[in-house]
Structure 1
Amino acid sequence: MGDPHGVGIVGLGVISRAYLDTLTDHPAVRIVAVADLDPARSAAVADTTPGVAAVSVEGLLDRPDVDTVLNLTIPAAHAEVSLAAIDAGKNVYVEKPLAATFADGRSMVDRAASAGVRVGCAPDTVLGTGTQTARAAVDRGLIGRPLSASAVMVTPGHERWHPDPDFYYAPGGGPLLDMGPYYISALIHLLGPVRAVHGAASRLRAERVIGSGPRTGEPVAVRVDTHVTGVLEHADGALSTLTTSFDGVATTAAPIEVHGEAGTLAVPDPNYFDGAVRLFPLGGGDWQVLDPLAGYAGASRGIGLIDAVRADGRPPRAGGDVALHVLDVMSTLLRSAGEGRRIEVTTTAERPPPVPLTPAEDWRQ
């Protein structure tokens, strides 16, 4: 991948602003084109971002100066757009999840390998100082041998704040496929890949009501389970208990806790890049806040793409292999919930290389 690296963005919804803020004017990348089903969105970005052209998706894929397609479409369109980009000889970086189905994700990764291009995928929040400091603490033996973990995400539902929340309640959405990638990716960084799962799921109601924006009061049909929980068996024997819910109001549970023979770590919300990592050692009297030990300091969405551009031969830390394994874990968990039995996952992934503690002024240059 060259430097600066040409990026074309497909999909300019709510999340695109965070990516634009990170990537615009970064010396490692250059946004050259944007496309959206709503031409007004792409025109607005082009008007406010020097050097960016508003084009069709087909026009974007035809541009020789686009090295990577940043796919920020809804999950149901991830595979279609990504496969078209791969067939055009482009690298792809996708907003999470990798695809709406495991079969689509598998096709993306396999076709990219055949084409000699790269696939990357969010979340890249796990590359920040929060998850990376917790990983460094585990790797340094601060809690001894890891035995188990818990990961909890509880919210009353995104329709309360998102103006167009339909895709959250359609196939490819739901609390597991929407928020699970943050928690499962973090657990893989902390404890390694997953070999089997046992899940359960439920659905609170058949429709939701939009709570903000021009569609306030409009009902949205719920077509997926909205509370999913399960046990993940990691390859090294540790057990993680995962809960993702659009049906709860609040929780006092830590986003992630990792328990070892010599201590417990409280890990900050993996939906964010930073946050306090706390350690309670065996025999200790209180929680200790750890200084940042690793990770991109002050990072923001898009750092995973920058990390891939600057990989220089090493595997990208937000790579397609991890994203496919995360999708496999989630898809298998939903299947397990439906069949009521333990099921082994079909993929694995190496823990990505750890991120050395990197000041913001360094990764922004």
Structure 2
Amino acid sequence: MDYRRLPHSSLDVSQLCLGTMTWGEQNTQSEAFAQLDYAIGKGINFIDTAEMYPVPPKAETQGETERILGNYLKSRGNRDNLVIATKVAGPGGKSDGIRDNMALDWRNIHQAVDDSLERLQIETIDLYQLHWPDRNTNFFGELFYQQQDSEKLTPIIETLEALASLISAGKIRYIGVSNETPWGVMKYLRLAEKHGLPRIISVQNPYNLLNRSFEVGMAEIAHREELPLLAYSPLAFGALTGKYMDDQWPEGARLTLFKRFARYTGSTIALEATKAYVELAREFNLSPAQMALAFVNTRQFVGSNIIGATNLEQLKENIDSIEVTLSAPLLARLNELAELYRIPCP
């Protein structure tokens, strides 16, 4: 396992990060413990969660993922060997059951951090991320930005000041953003520089063979501003494994259970692109999942690749992707497909 220093921080994170959003919904605590034991045994030291998890978000399960992780850390006594990242939810319909007012303001962020620390049973969060923006913008794969003249939002400067106070209090070490746009990222960076506030050190956005939109406006920012991507959904909710091809819906699979996550299976072009990538992997005698993950691993702007699984067999295959080297002919073919299927699933 390779480790990378996140710029502007002292955090050395593993090339692969263990995602957790199925724990408490598709996975029990014992299954989560088994995933953690295996991943850590293979060298993963970076664990990503969120106050909203598990998904899909429900009032009765909200926070359960952090509680499971906290129980694990207490049980194993290995917190100091790990980098723990979590997120505060923003306003919108994706955060039912957390707080009455979900603005990313001083009060809500302080409450969210205290609640996460209690569930995680730790004193400090290594990387604290804003799960999505507190403003009208096109995140979570939405297209067609629509101006809203009467929108309500929390000024980014207020959000940064709240986070700065939490760093001063020792409750968080570093901050990052998630599901952000180029405008939002640059605004955070410039306000921090202007006012002497904490600098964001990472951006967690979706990135995979079906969704390379990060390369359009964000990859240059990642390079020139030293702001690495923490790539989530590298298998496109499992679609890039090929398990949903030909109208197959495996029992217990995420997209079988939760049709709301149909971005990667809900259009003809997405299905055509998926089939092309799966067939290409098989042509080169590779696992489709490992080819898709290995591709993300090759990107210079990626700080860590967030993998997830609902069973150990999947987790083992995903972690073994670090041993896969993509040949020059295969990379060329991948670029040909990317030209043919221009961001079929933004």
Which structure shows the bigger proportion of residues in helix conformation?
2
TM-score using structure 2 length: 0.36
Q: Higher relative contact order by CA 8 Å / sep ≥ 6: 1 or 2?
A: 1
Which structure shows the bigger proportion of residues in strand conformation?
1
